[in-house]
Structures are given as structure tokens and as C-alpha cells.
Amino acid sequence: MTDPSADLPSQKQHLREKLRFRRRHFVANLDEFTRFAAFRALPAPLEALVAAHAVTGAYAAWGDEPDILPMLADKAEAHGIALPHHAGRVEMMTFRRWRPADPLVKGPWGTRQPANGSDSATPALIFCPLVGFDRSGGRIGQGGGHYDRWFAAHPDALRIGVGWSVQEIDATPIEPTDMALDAVLTEQEFIVTGDRL
């Protein structure tokens, strides 16, 4: 008998390709006002959460991912935020503190990250990019597993996915290593998906 879970990686890869295509075309066709206004202000529930946590994790947008750094500018300026950092092309990802005046350098995977000399940090609340999501907290990432491994090592950290509304799907294929999101933020709404918020 064939194990149905053996096909999950290929299902996810097919969904990634479909959702990346959808996201790319959605972003390319955004009007100027929507592009400017999207992800510029934290919704009230998130503003309170960010204020309550000493270290907030975020990311430097890559390609057509939503750019959330302007939304977190006040927090970044006052206390700094933590961004993903890769020491090399390895499985483990860490976070390093960053402020708007600090340079971002090209990391080994091509994404922008804090410089090697930046201080390490462990966020208690993390905004993570996604390729796809559902309303139960399922997340499809880029496929490298970096966030899932970090989430597994830090299960108490609140996990908030960030994506465009067109990245929503009915249900995400779930693998044993996948960690559910607590919420999802899109340009249209803030969706609570778990019971930790």
C-alpha cells in the first residue's frame, strides 16, 4: 500500500509554483495607491502584541513578498527588530538585531540580512513570509524548511504569516515537520488562526 503522505512534498511544490505565479501577477497589477498603502500600518491587535514583546522578528522582503519593514519602522527605530540571518548555505537560521540605519547585506540564499557582526536575538513574536496559507494556520513556505526548524526549536514564539490575499488556499498539505501559524496578515485583513492570541 502506498503512503499518501509520501506525495505531500510534490503537492506542496505544485502549489508553490501556482501560488508564486498568482502572487507575481497580483503584485504586478496592483495600482499605485494600493501598493503604497499595503502593509504600512499595524492593525490594532498587532500593534498591542508588538508593543508587548521585547524582540519582534521580521524579514527583508524578497521579490514580490509584502514589505513589512515600513510597518515596523517605529519599533525598529526605538528598540530594533530581529531579521533572519544565515551563516552559510546551511539548514539552521538565526536572527540578528537590525535598525533602519544598519546596512543589509546579501546572504548566502540571495536574501538581504543583517551583517555578520550584528547582535543575535531570539524573537518572541515573529512575522514570517509565506507562499500560501489557509485559515487553519497552514503555511506553505519557500521549501527550505528554515522557518519550520526555527519554530520547532522555539515553540513558544508567536507565529504570524504575512502574504497577499491571493495566496490563500482552502487547505494546506501538512507534513509532520510543519508548524501552524497563530495568525495571518494580508493587505485586506488580520486572520487569527490559532488560540494563542
91, pLDDT greater than 90 = no
Domain locations along the chain: 7-189
pLDDT given for residue 2 in this prediction: 41
pLDDT given for residue 6 in this prediction: 57
pLDDT in tens, 95-153: 999 999 999 999 998 999 999 999 999 999 999 999 999 999 999 998 888 999 999 99
How is domain 7-189 classified at the CATH fold level?
A: Rossmann fold (3.40.50)
SS3 track for the chain: CCCHHHHHHHHHHHHHHHHHHHHHHHHHCCCHHHHHHCCCCCCHHHHHHHHHCCCEECCCCCCCCCCCCCCCHHHHHHHCEEEEECCCCCCCCEEEEECCCCCEEECCCCCEEECCCCCEECCCEEEEECCEECCCCCEECCCCCHHHHHHHHCCCCEEEEECCHHHECCCCCCCCCCCCCCEEECCCCEEECCCCC
pTM equals 0.93
